[in-house]
Structure 1
Amino acid sequence: MVRSLAQWTKTLSFPARISPNKGSKDNINIHQISPTITPTPSSNSLSKNNEINGIMNNNLSNNDVNQIYPDPESEKAIMSSVVYCIHHKEGCKWSDELRKLKGHLNTCKHDAIPCTSKCGAQIPRVLMEDHLKYTCPQRRTRCEFCNKEFSGHALENHVGNCGYEPLYCENKCGVKIARRHLSQHKTSDCSKRLLPCRYCAKEFVCDTLTAHHLKCGRVPVSCPNRCEANVLAREELEAHLKEECTVSVQSCSFKEAGCRFKGPRYNMDKHLEENCQQHLTMMCTMVSKQQHQITSLKSALSRLSLNYSGTLIWKISDFSAKMAEARNKEGMELVSPPFYTSQYGYKLQASLFPNGNGAGENTHISVYIKILPGEYDALLRWPFAHSVSFTLFDQSTCPEKACNIVESFIPDPTWKNFQRPSKEPDSLGFGFPKFVSHEMLKKRHFMKDDTMFIRVKVDPSKIVAV
């Protein structure tokens, strides 16, 4: 920043006291006569600076000098005092008598002087060269880009607007180009400019547009079968070949049934018409095969769902309706899902007569167990000798107060019911005709939500199978 002479002039600093050889009386007089000059470097009084500047510039009249220094001896002592340069804080190392300060300031490189190019600025001598070269408004210099000559002030306005100044493209394409050509570059040559696809009208960066054309769905293409269709959009070609192209080779719609015909679409209707009976036969054959597959799958599914634990929990729901039906239909029997004593053990099935059977008819519920022909009967020991128990669960809300009904038996090896079953198993089996009376069912919580649970358990400790 350019400062005036008054701003550069600072309070004088004295390295030693004034006139050390003078007496104390003279020193007192000096301080009394010249209170405006102080040896303390911390004073910044503007009036003191102005007085010192006046002394240095001989602007004061003799009368004024006499008023400030009425005693010639005091004046001489003051002017002989050793002081630092007023610019010592800026780096000037000069120090000498006060009377020599003015002459020093005329050559001090830290002292401000008017610009030699008459721009009006006060510039320290040490900065004058840089000022004349770089910052003086009156300097003459050339633009580094267009090489035209300008004054300093005009160059400042010119910089940033020079048409020859190279600039990087704002689209970040990496190209550096003169300002006057930049606008045309961004609209015509820049590889990062946005361009619309001429097929789908979406905008893409210029250098990616070619890659987009390779997969654009709206690019026109011809049918590869050379049918009579006009040019198609790429995204419509697949649907055209599958549903519309007349010369497209297709398989017969009865392909899954065994028809091997392949031909152009325009021949398909004729083929279907001429081979109607053949297609019907194929479909019947296929349906038959599917029926066998369904039966096989059902069998496999039933095997996967079989119980191999030797214990069956049989849930009988809607018991009231079944009881009413049993009373109207003599000998009505409910059968459980089959279960095995083990994975390779005996195959069993429980049965229940809601209205009783034999001795329990019309008064009790009868339960039985029957042995069914199993897959592994040839490996098992006969007769069947496992103990069997039936349990009717009391569904009381308090388990401690529940009272289940349990009946069990050990098979008699002489009974026919426990011999190896034939393909036609015994129709009844073995069990308890009077398992539980109809009256007992009403006394406790054997029925809940019209549902009862019966457990049939084969005691594993009695297993004699291989």
Structure 2
Amino acid sequence: MKRIRNIFSKKGEYQIYPGPDPKQAIMGSLVFCIHHKQGCKWSDELRKLKGHLNVCKHDATQCPNKCGAQIPRIMMTDHLQFTCNMRRTKCEFCQSEFSGAGLEEHAGTCGQEPIYCEAKCGQRVLRGRMTLHKSKDCAKRLRRCVHCAREFSCDTLPLHVAQCPRAPLTCPQRCDVGAIARGDMEAHLRDECKALAIACSFKEAGCRFKGPRHMLEAHLEANAASHLSLMVSLSSRQGQQIQMLKTAVSKLSINYTGTLLWKITDWSAKMTEARSKDGLELVSPPFYTSQYGYKLQASMFLNGNGPGENTHVSVYIKVLPGEYDALLKWPFAHSITFTLFEQGAQTGQGGVAESFVPDPTWENFQRPSNEPDQLGFGFPRFISHEMLHRRPFIKDDTVFLRVKVDPSKIVAV
């Protein structure tokens, strides 16, 4: 029954009109395809939606192979060709036909599929021939060395055989011993081989004998005197070489800076000895004013000398014969400064210093002879014993005296 709608007229009277059919209105409404989010662009009246879904490529439908899958029409071709469990397809290697599920089970087991050797020899072999390949053809298969029975891969076995310590070899001296293991050959040649020419044990001394092992003892007995003479000569040469080396080492240790820092240890013991022995003198290592300069040496009398005896420490400098005296200017005229250092971080580099410039007329500084001046020139009252102990000149029973030669100064400081 149609719904009746009453509308109030302008004159205040009611009129009756029939209303629209709601079903028709709904079915005629504009709708989109239910797969519009998947990309379907269809849009039309609701009554046409069912017919559209029968052909919509995005709508799922039953797989015709009856695998049970619901597949969108747009993907059905790929499904039937690649993923359907009920599809019929061939193995690309053996060409056997399988269902989709059967092909998945067959994959990885096909005997005609080429795969890389499991031993990593680099070759690709049919799966069905892999066992035969690994046992007969594979370069990485293991084989035993016939000499030492150790296992090696086939590609490294020849290299091993060429070095195997148990491989039999013939003596290079062609002695009557049979095959000898490579590892024993060195000992054989050194201790046993009768054909090997052996040098005399006095070879380093100059003996030139070289002959079979069995002749060596006879040679040693027959030439004992000559061997002794050779050893004497060798000893003499070695002595000369040692002396040359000592000279070279001593030159390397010589001071060429023109400044000597003399470290005097065991001060107490040396002072006690100086007080008990008159004229006890300590001498420093020689030093040079430069590489080709004057050769000097400092000396010290701990208990004093001359006017400083028993009260002061006396210091002197003497000129020694040097290697280059013939090229130097004489008399020696460089200023000399003696400095006795105070020790300790708080006192810094303080100390006592005395210096002088040699007088050209002094004999002490003329070119020295082979027997230089025994005393030299210096300060007999360099520092008193009382001051030596009052200030920190002695520490750890050690005293430091610096002797500095300065060719640029002509006035003593």
For normalisation by structure 1, the TM-score amounts to 0.67
Per-residue CA deviation, residues 275-321 of structure 1 (Å, 9 max, x unaligned), is 22222221221121121122222222222222223222211111111
Residue 54 of structure 2 is aligned to residue 87 of structure 1: yes
Distance in 2 separating the partners of 1:163 and 1:29: 63
Residue 316 of structure 2 is aligned to residue 349 of structure 1: no
Distance in 2 separating the partners of 1:384 and 1:133: 110
Give the counterpart of 1:447 among 385, 394, 412.
394
Distance in 1 separating the partners of 2:55 and 2:407: 116
Give the counterpart of 1:174 among 115, 123, 132.
123
Give the counterpart of 2:208 among 252, 260, 263.
260
- For 1:366, what is the secondary structure of its paired residue? strand
Equivalent position of 1:299 in the other structure: 247
Give the counterpart of 1:381 among 312, 329, 335.
329
Equivalent position of 1:71 in the other structure: none
Distance in 1 separating the partners of 2:191 and 2:381: 72
Residue 371 of structure 2 is aligned to residue 424 of structure 1: yes
Return closer, same or farther for 1:187/1:366 CA change in 2, 3 Å cut-off. same
Paired letter, 2:364? N
Paired letter, 2:112? E
Cα offset, 1:358, TM superposition? 2.4
For normalisation by structure 2, the TM-score amounts to 0.75
Structure 1 residue ranges without an equivalent (≥5): 1-23, 45-79, 93-109
Return closer, same or farther for 1:25/1:88 CA change in 2, 3 Å cut-off. farther
Per-residue CA deviation, residues 121-174 of structure 1 (Å, 9 max, x unaligned), is 79999979x9799979698x99887788x8859975994598863543433542
Distance in 2 separating the partners of 1:82 and 1:451: 116
Return closer, same or farther for 1:185/1:379 CA change in 2, 3 Å cut-off. closer
Stretch moving more, 294-303 or 331-340: 294-303
Paired letter, 2:271? M
Q: How does 1:219-298 map to 2 (within 5 A)?
A: 219-298=167-246
- For 2:261, what is the secondary structure of its paired residue? strand
Structure with the bigger percentage of strand: 2
Return closer, same or farther for 1:285/1:120 CA change in 2, 3 Å cut-off. closer
- For 2:304, what is the secondary structure of its paired residue? coil
- For 1:207, what is the secondary structure of its paired residue? coil
Return closer, same or farther for 1:38/1:205 CA change in 2, 3 Å cut-off. farther
Distance in 1 separating the partners of 2:370 and 2:49: 142
> Contact 1:388–1:456 (CA<8 Å) still a contact in 2?
yes
Residue 261 of structure 2 is aligned to residue 308 of structure 1: no
Cα offset, 1:462, TM superposition? 5.0
Distance in 2 separating the partners of 1:342 and 1:147: 98
Q: Give the greater-gyration-radius structure (CA).
A: 1
Per-residue CA deviation, residues 210-248 of structure 1 (Å, 9 max, x unaligned), is 233223333222221233444333233234323443322
Distance in 1 separating the partners of 2:145 and 2:98: 51
Paired letter, 2:256? Y
Paired letter, 2:54? H
Paired letter, 1:87? N
Distance in 2 separating the partners of 1:201 and 1:287: 53
Cα offset, 1:203, TM superposition? 3.1
Cα offset, 1:255, TM superposition? 1.4
Return closer, same or farther for 1:167/1:335 CA change in 2, 3 Å cut-off. same
- For 1:351, what is the secondary structure of its paired residue? strand
